[in-house]
Amino acid sequence: MPRYGPDRIRNVAILGHSHEGKTTLAESLLFVTGALPRMGSTDAGTSALDFEPEEQKRKISINLATAFVEHDGYKVNLLDTPGFFDFAGQVNCALAAAEGALVVVAAGAQLAVGTEIAWERLNRSATPRLVVVNKMDKEHADFAGSLEAMQAQLDPKPVALQLPIGAEASFAGVVDLIRMRALISAKDGSVREAEVPAELADAAATARERLVEAAAEGDDGLLEKYLDEGTLTDQEVARGLRAGVAAGRIAPVVCCSAINLVGVTPLLQAICDLLPAATCDPEGPPRAFVFSTAVDPFVGRVSYLKVLSGCLRAEQHIPNTTRGGEERLAQLFFPRGKEQVRTQEVCAGDIGAVARLQNTLTNDVLGSPDGEVPAVEIPAPTYRVAISPKSRGDEEKISTGLARLSEEDPVLVVERDEETHELRIGGLGDVHLDVILEKLRRKYGVDATTRLPRVAYRETVSGQARAEGRHVKQTGGHGQYGICVIEVSPTQRGEGFIWEDRIFGGAIPQNFRPSVQKGIQDAMARGIVAGYPMVDVKVALVDGKYHTVDSSDMAFQIAGSLAIRKAAMEAGPVLLEPILDVEVRVPERYLGDVMSDLNGKRGRISGTEPQDGWQVVRAQVPEADMQRFALDLRSITQGRGSFRTSFSHYEEVPTHLARQLIDAYQKETASS
């Protein structure tokens, strides 16, 4: 395989709504260029890019898939991303390595939410893009309706680069509006040129005029010529479009039927002509950025990398400048889905992969530390569950498996809550975590169960009480003797535990008083009424008795624990719950529904404000009611909304809810 210079490399992420045909489009590009001997099918489970069992079962892309095609002296690296919202992290991995993007939409007058989300994501990173109106062969396919819907809602405004020749079963090719030629596709995807059909001549002339106007706006010199002469040459139109696309002012629109290979080759040519070349330094020292990682129980870790400067070569030793240490690049290859095309080198601007690096993960840099580095934007988890193995003795296996899975999925968070003693996993939704469970079972042989995590409640008291703790056992021999009297009262919220020794004289010797305090604090840590730590309590030791022979450190610890239990029950025990600061970002039309949902979750809304055409809602909501909010918000906004939370403070649980928690705990402890 020849070495391609950066100017001949196109790194392209493929984005869009789920089931719009992204993977099928990538598959068709591979087939028409001869990279695949036959077209695979996502529905039949034969796709070269959706090859993981979880993808074949669900018929959706879950992982970022990387492949390359060669066309007309160019190498195009395709980064096929999932369309389902739970796997947005994979989209970010692709965009960290790509200079351009394809936004794939199905031909119809309805703009899908995934298209809006992809567009906004590309706008955030200022990524140049082409729009592909796919499925032109389907019933009710409507290119004009798709274009109008996008022009009404998206910015930068999409502009037609092609017009379809026919539609539905009669879709046969496209009109190239730059050269004003018809490109008719054969069954193998090859193309023959022809005159523009007479019935499309007027529509094509009008559409070309709009395209020329857009191209002129992409370059000041061209704009001046266009205003003076009213027209541009084909070469000038192409130049203006390249500049406008690179600047993020133009989004050209093409059309195709990926499954029937109609319009696929012209799309590939548009990628090469209009999307920007790879950004890199061919003359610099070897340097690469790892944008994705896969872990196979048998092959080991596979690191997908983009070379930022110089060349990486097989058997080369190269430093990991992010983590330290050195890695050996035993074998380099160009990925093509699950296929690996071996190579001796991967050079600047290109994308390759290497297996079995020891300490390298996503977002790491190999080689020279100098120069700018792209970074994968890792979304924060919005949905968490507690996880445990079904079989006793699998605790180590589940921990090892989850650690490996978090290496290939940087969005997956694995954490142990020391307070609730739960192992938790966090991700972007229930489907995301369901897939993690499937991979855990398939790759690491661990069946696991999940549940909503326990909330870290606290206990405290609302009033004052006095109680005696008595631990006396004297039945011959060395006995146990410890009696203490304490007074309990609440402190200010957040003030914690306050200890006061108010004994005057020798009712309890000085050396046993810390033992009383330890017994009290140990009991408070375990919880008194519902099994949660007790906080914000002042305890005063006011009296007691001891025995010169039978008193001991342990006797007074036990006496202290008995005293605090009695006093707490008489001092009006209450539960405290964590309250979160919540910020929700939603389109204006969903504002009322989201505020209603937050109110239903016992939330207190502090305000709303407009932000770039969206509304931001700020509220304080109990953590217990936020555990499924990620799923609820997706349902309310069809996936358009997003949110973030942070801990604010603890607040008293309403009496009726506290009673349920206390009764459940008392019942559980009574039966154990």
Domain architecture of the chain: domains with CATH: 6-274 (3.40.50.300), 287-367 (2.40.30.10), 383-451 (3.30.70.870), 459-571 (3.30.230.10), 575-656 (3.30.70.240)
Q: For the residues 548-559, what does the mean pLDDT come to?
A: 95
pLDDT tens digits along 18-38: 999 999 999 999 999 999 999
Residues near 277 by beta carbon (within 8 Å), at least 6 away in sequence: 6, 7, 8, 9, 10, 99, 349
Does residue 612 surpass a pLDDT of 90? no
Q: What is the pLDDT, as a whole number, of residue 88?
A: 94
In the three-class reduction of DSSP (H, G, I as helix; E, B as strand; rest coil), residue 36 is classed as: coil
H/E segment holding residue 234: helix 234-246
pLDDT tens digits along 196-233: 999 999 999 999 999 999 999 988 889 999 998 888 99
Give CA separation, 603 vs 144, 329, 597, 641, in Å.
Answer: 45, 53, 9, 18
Q: For the residues 610-617, what does the mean pLDDT come to?
A: 90
Per-residue confidence band for 132, with pLDDT thresholds at 50, 70 and 90: very high
Q: Residue 559 and residue 553: Cα distance in Å, rounded? A: 10
Beta-bridged to residue 347, according to DSSP, are 311
Does residue 662 surpass a pLDDT of 70? yes
Tracing tokens 């020749």 back to the chain, one arrives at: 165
| Least-confidence region, from 67-71, 94-98, 279-283 | 279-283
Q: What is the pLDDT, as a whole number, of residue 143?
A: 97
The sheet that has 74-80: what strands, in order across it? 65-71, 74-80, 9-16, 100-106, 129-134, 251-255, 158-160
Q: What is the pLDDT, as a whole number, of residue 272?
A: 98
Task: State the average pLDDT for the chain.
Answer: 94
Q: What is the pLDDT, as a whole number, of residue 219?
A: 83
Q: For the residues 529-542, what does the mean pLDDT come to?
A: 95
Tracing tokens 């070269």 back to the chain, one arrives at: 48
Q: What is the pLDDT, as a whole number, of residue 672?
A: 62
Residue 590, both tokens: 């969903």
Could you give the percent of the chain with pLDDT greater than 90? 89
Q: Residue 376 and residue 290: Cα distance in Å, rounded? A: 9
Per-residue confidence band for 645, with pLDDT thresholds at 50, 70 and 90: very high
Per-residue confidence band for 534, with pLDDT thresholds at 50, 70 and 90: very high
- Cβ neighbours of 664 (radius 10 Å): 12
Secondary structure E strands in 96-212? 100-106, 129-134, 158-160, 162-165, 173-176, 181-185, 191-194
pLDDT tens digits along 467-520: 999 999 977 667 899 999 999 999 999 999 999 999 988 899 999 999 999 999
